[in-house]
Amino acid sequence: MHLLAAQPGMVTDGSEAVDLGQQPGDVVILSAAESELACLAGAQARLSDAFGDNVPSLRLASLLQLGHNMSVDLYVDDVLGDAKFIIVRILGGRGYWEYGVEQLVALARSRDIPLVLLPGDDQPDAELLSLSTVKGAEYQHIWRYLIEGGPQNSENLLRLIYEKLNVNVNWNWSPAAPLVKAGGYWPGKSQANLAEIRSNWIENQPVTPIVFYRSLVQAGNLDVIDAMVEELCANQLNPLPIFVASLKDPVASALVSDWLTETRADLIMNTTGFALSVPGSQRFDGPFDAVDAPVFQVVLSGGSEGAWRDGVNGLTARDIAMNVALPEVDGRILARAISFKGSAGKDDLTQIDLVKYIPVRDRVAFTAKLAANWIKLRTSKASDRKIAMVMANYPNKDARLGNGVGLDTPAGMIETLRAMRTDGYAIADLPENGDALIAAIKAGPTNDFTSLGQRDIRVTLPMADYQAAFAALPQSIQGQVTEAWGDAKTDPFYLPDQDSFALSILPMGNVIVGLQPARGYNIDPLESYHSPDLVPPHNYFAFYIWLRHVFGVDAIIHFGKHGNMEWLPGKSLALSEDCFPEAVFGPTPHFYPFIVNDPGEGTQAKRRAQAVILDHLTPPLTRAESYGPLKDLEALVDEYYDAAAVDPRRLVILKRDILELAIRIGLDRDCGIEAGEDEESALAKFDNYLCELKELQIRDGLHIFGKAPEGDLLTDLLVALARLPRGADHGPKASLHRAIAKDILADPAFDPLDCAFAEFWPGAKPEILAAYGTKDDSDIGPWRTTGDTVERIELLARDLVNGTITADPSWGAVIDVISDVETNIRPAVTGCGPAEISGILRGLAGKFVEPGPSGAPTRGRPDVLPTGRNFYSVDTRTVPTPAAWQLGWKSAELLLERHVQDHGEWPSALGLSVWGTSNMRTGGDDIAQALALMGVRPTWDSASRRVTGFEIMPASLLGRPRVDVTLRISGFFRDAFPGLIDLFDSAVRAVADQTDEPADINPIAARIAKETAKLSDQGMTADQARQQAGFRVFGSKPGAYGAGLQAMIDEKLWEDEVDLADAYLAWGSYAYGNGAEGVAARKLFETRLSNVDAIVHNQDNREHDLLDSDDYYQFEGGMTSAVRNLSGKQPTVYHSDHSRPESPKIRTLEEEIARVVRARVVNPKWINGVMRHGYKGAFEMAATVDYLFAFAATARCVADHHFDLVYDAYLDDPKVRDFIAEHNPDALRDIRDRLREAIERGLWQPRRNSVSSNLMDRS
């Protein structure tokens, strides 16, 4: 049988081809290192002076200008065709210049041209060597010259090559001479020893090393280093400029370490790229570890200043990977981009436009001031430091103070403040507990400005002080704020009688606790809800002006995921003075306790607000188990199946009782029982559903920053962490549950992590497991199904972890895993509390905060523990990873199967929401799934595992049609993964070029061809029409974030669902890809969504659920609302569960909401858990009701009985209702208001008439 080969595709960012305009040359050298090219140009000039016309012609070019395939073709045709010797240095291997390598190898072999393909660093690359036509000693000589670098080695390299081209001249070349690997520098002196540098210092002032590449010295490209030296001196700091060949070079590393130690460096500014450590591996101790000092990552950008100023991206994908994402692995703090590449003039001999780093003076000044502020933390006493601890508040209600996902924010703040007081901070009047802290905050102004007159105004900012500080802001900032909000005296927090702003600040000595101001959507919601890039109001600036200029804050702690400052309008990263996060926050040291499983949104604060993350543990996790009527129903089902064997006469009565109870509590709808469905089939569905529900993982309370779980909470969390394999299928890192099944059940075909719960259990029933159903105090039913087997394995796992049962010596697999639990996982969990406190205290003292990986611990990632570290994310160049591709492919196939099962046909088009955070956690599951749906597979470099492109899988191999996928990406995805946007967009356009495939097999090609013709008929050029017809990636307006529905729902701004759909479309209809960076394209977005057959959203872990956050209803619900209004029909919405990568599950959104409502929302186990947390526990209940309501409003997928269940659990249960009334009465009012609104809007018809009157009477 003949199989068609996959067709390779090239990733393009839509940029135009470049013609370098060079003439042919005898020797051509290509490199991505401009300093190397500058050295070679200088060497050619010297040789020309010495040898005149005898010197062969040399052409130099930057590989960065030859990224486009057509650029390569032009250069091959115009320059390389007549070359006599070609050298290319490729950083990252063949995959980073795939097409270029292919063309040059073909040219060299066809014309017998010596070709040397070299790595861009000093690490051998066997593939490049094998493709070169020059081998052996000559290859090594050439490589060594470029590795060592410098003027003399560059000159000798050319002499060596020219000797082969012109034998009539004695070129007199010398072998490569090793250059100094590292050394000191001072402006005006290219090499300076430590004593010479010290002679320029101010005695006893803090020392700030500046570490930069040796190549800058070699090329004389030092303006930016000189500028930084000048600014550090201006801030009374002693600069220590050190150049290095590489921080990985042992000689360079030793010198840096020695000099840092000898000078007792206080803060390090590093401008070199990449990381010393490898993501996912144990941290590598580098030269910076010689001193316990913070390390700034200062970016010398490879882009132009003009592109940076004019655009919103901030940096290129290459810069993000090398100068941002990878340095985060070493725990470096992103400062600013302080220089960009500009022209240093054209070199006529080599015909290259030379470039140099041009400093941006205000960026240099900002970075130096930030360094000075960090050093002030380090050199001051704790008792003298002034610290602000800020809690978030959204929605802007008094019931929802102290946002922090998974976090008891007020209690964690008290825990931290106690530790700070013990450490010497001057803290007065510390509240007793979290509830007392909230009460104190609520006594003063909050974001509810309508009640300002009833509040105790403790802290104000005089208008004169505000106006003076505001006038010092950039004109662009002032203009935008004034245009949006008018005069400062019209702000709702302005107090005319005091001519001041009222501020939500609780003074506590040298520490204050503040409430972060609202973004402004609450002030004039009808005018602002259509403004995704709304600038903050005057009172927002007033809050931070008071902190920085009146209070004199030394550091700010934003406590818990997440606030709004890092999401203000501006560049994605590498901010300018015209970006709002910088205008508000300035060069202030920033600390951010943040949940460890959310790398994306935490990374946003790192990259847009110079934050140091102090990651914290997830909430304790536990099994949902059975309760109330579900437990009653489970007992009836067990009784029914028992009776089938011993007393068939009772079956009719039991069957009636089961069905009546299931219908009464709405379980028939949740299980998908169809009208008239066979009773036996219905019973089997009930049985399976009940088993799945009680095994669901839910949270048991909240995490308190600085405290590790204990007792049952610790045991349950350890079981959850050991449930999935942790990088291995065998040995200590294997799944505990699989180990139990292997050792005790001895059934190799049974997988407790992937099985059908309702199936009859045919296997062994060993006593150790059977005993769980026979104990006197046991509420475990009979052992009948596979689900019963899984339940018993869960219980045994728990007893093994807590030590109630000791593993039998014959249980080898179990003993291995339990050993890992005790040796590694338990200490990591119990160490989280102390490590969190230690981390934040170290940071506040100006010390280095250890980096650590991020991710969902219970998804096989206990390596992210202990917490308390400055987490990092992923190398964006490796996404999607091969593991993500495997899951994405599997999920895509299951999704298509489910759609065929539901609708009887393949889907032609799907809409998929894609978030940056989840793709960081998973390595790109979502984007892999989208590619798989189209029939496209990523390709990777075999050595580095970085993504190099893609291949289009033959339709014959797919065995099904391709699917037209439209992505609605989050703002953070846009910022963090520009390369993935290009990858997906390029794949779409490549699939569209497969015009030989019929329309029913390739709807992408058919649809793009049709729409291209339509747009052309409307007057567009062919290229414009093709570009716009191919748009499949849409997102927020450049510089903006979000989906636009939160304010609509919270402020009750919508009349009908058309308003919700309109807001979603207004905020998300900006097209990306093929050179477009957020082009307004609402009509195109509407066209895409009106054609989708289903909507897809993936969830990658069970440490949270879709009723925990507004993001789910905004993206998933928002798209559903838009599609329904555009197409006129309710779309199918699939909410895929990727929490167990080996067995993804595809469910509808209705099914997922039903599961979450029953397993978590109304489960007494969860309710009792959050009730341990007072105010914040009631907050969580109110938030859950809000999100359930929002899904009902947007997606129309919440059943009446779900609202009934919530009402009964929260308001009809006197114990719960009284708890909420005591600890958070505002939450009680909000719950009632929201449920009443659901009735009024026709989203809920209560089963009891009394509910409506009760909600009215208790308002």
CATH of the structural domain 182-375, one choice from 3.40.120, 3.30.1370, 1.20.81, 3.40.50: 3.40.50
Q: What is the pLDDT of residue 1083?
A: 98
What average pLDDT does range 18-29 have in this prediction? 96
Q: What is the pLDDT of residue 3?
A: 36
Q: What is the pLDDT of residue 806?
A: 97
- Both structure tokens of 1098: 């993936």
Instruction: State the chain's maximal CA–CA distance in angstroms.
Output: 111
Helix ranges (H only) for 724-785 are: 736-740, 767-770
What average pLDDT does range 708-712 have in this prediction? 98
The span from the CA of 920 to the CA of 876, in Å, is 8
The span from the CA of 157 to the CA of 144, in Å, is 9
CATH of the structural domain 27-165, one choice from 1.10.4160, 3.40.630, 3.30.310, 3.40.50: 3.40.50
Burial of 106 (0-12, 13-18, 19+ CB in 10 A): exposed
Cis peptide before 880 (omega within 30 of 0): yes
Q: Residue 775's pLDDT band (boundaries 50, 70, 90)?
A: low
User: Residue 436: in which H helix or E strand, if any?
Assistant: helix 434-443
For residue 95, pLDDT over 90 is answered with no
The span from the CA of 70 to the CA of 303, in Å, is 21
Q: Are 209 and 266 in contact (CB under 8 A)?
A: no
Give the least confident one: 769-783, 931-945, 961-975: 769-783
**How many other C-beta atoms can be found within 10 angstroms of the C-beta atom of residue 345?**
9
Q: Are 835 and 868 in contact (CB under 8 A)?
A: yes
For residue 32, pLDDT over 60 is answered with yes
For residue 1259, pLDDT over 50 is answered with no
Inter-CA distances, 92 with 96, 324, 465, 940, 948, Å: 6, 17, 53, 12, 10
1150 SS3 class: helix
Question: ∠ at Cα 613 (700, 849), nearest 5°?
Answer: 115
Q: What is the pLDDT of residues 970-996, one digit of tens each?
A: 999 999 999 999 999 999 999 999 999
The span from the CA of 1234 to the CA of 1051, in Å, is 11
For residue 1245, pLDDT over 60 is answered with yes
Q: What is the mean pLDDT of the chain?
A: 95
DSSP 8-state class, residue 1116? I
DSSP strand pairing (401-403 vs 7-9): unpaired
For residue 2, pLDDT over 60 is answered with no
What average pLDDT does range 1235-1242 have in this prediction? 98
Most confident stretch, 266-280, 432-446, 763-777: 432-446
> DSSP letter string over 6-43?
PEEE----SPPP----PPP-SEEEEES-HHHHHHHHHH
Q: What is the pLDDT of residues 854-871, one digit of tens each?
A: 999 999 999 999 999 999
For residue 1, pLDDT over 50 is answered with no
For residue 87, pLDDT over 70 is answered with yes
Q: Residue 1010's pLDDT band (boundaries 50, 70, 90)?
A: very high
Question: ∠ at Cα 1170 (1169, 1175), nearest 5°?
Answer: 150
Domain positions in the chain: 27-165, 182-375, 382-618, 625-695, 711-830, 877-1148, 1162-1259
Q: What is the pLDDT of residue 50?
A: 95
Nearest to 409 by CA among 595, 543, 224: 595
Nearest to 376 by CA among 392, 387, 365: 387
The span from the CA of 506 to the CA of 514, in Å, is 6
Domains 27-165 and 182-375 share a fold: yes
Q: What is the pLDDT of residue 405?
A: 95
What average pLDDT does range 30-45 have in this prediction? 94
What average pLDDT does range 97-106 have in this prediction? 95
Torsion-angle region of residue 883: left (phi > 0), alpha (psi -120 to 50) or beta? alpha
The span from the CA of 764 to the CA of 699, in Å, is 33
**pLDDT: which is higher, 1207 or 525:** 1207
Q: Residue 4's pLDDT band (boundaries 50, 70, 90)?
A: very low
Nearest to 991 by CA among 947, 1077, 1039, 930: 930
The span from the CA of 476 to the CA of 51, in Å, is 56
**pLDDT: which is higher, 1217 or 945:** 1217
Considering the chain, what percentage of its residues have pLDDT values greater than 90?
A: 90
The span from the CA of 695 to the CA of 602, in Å, is 31
Q: What is the pLDDT of residues 589-631, one digit of tens each?
A: 999 999 999 999 999 999 999 999 999 999 999 999 999 999 9
Q: At residue 103, what is the residue type?
A: Q
For residue 532, pLDDT over 50 is answered with yes
For residue 9, pLDDT over 80 is answered with no
Using H for helix, E for strand and C for coil, what is the string for 494-538? EECCCCEEEECEEEEECEEEEECCCCCCCCCHHHHCCCCCCCCCH
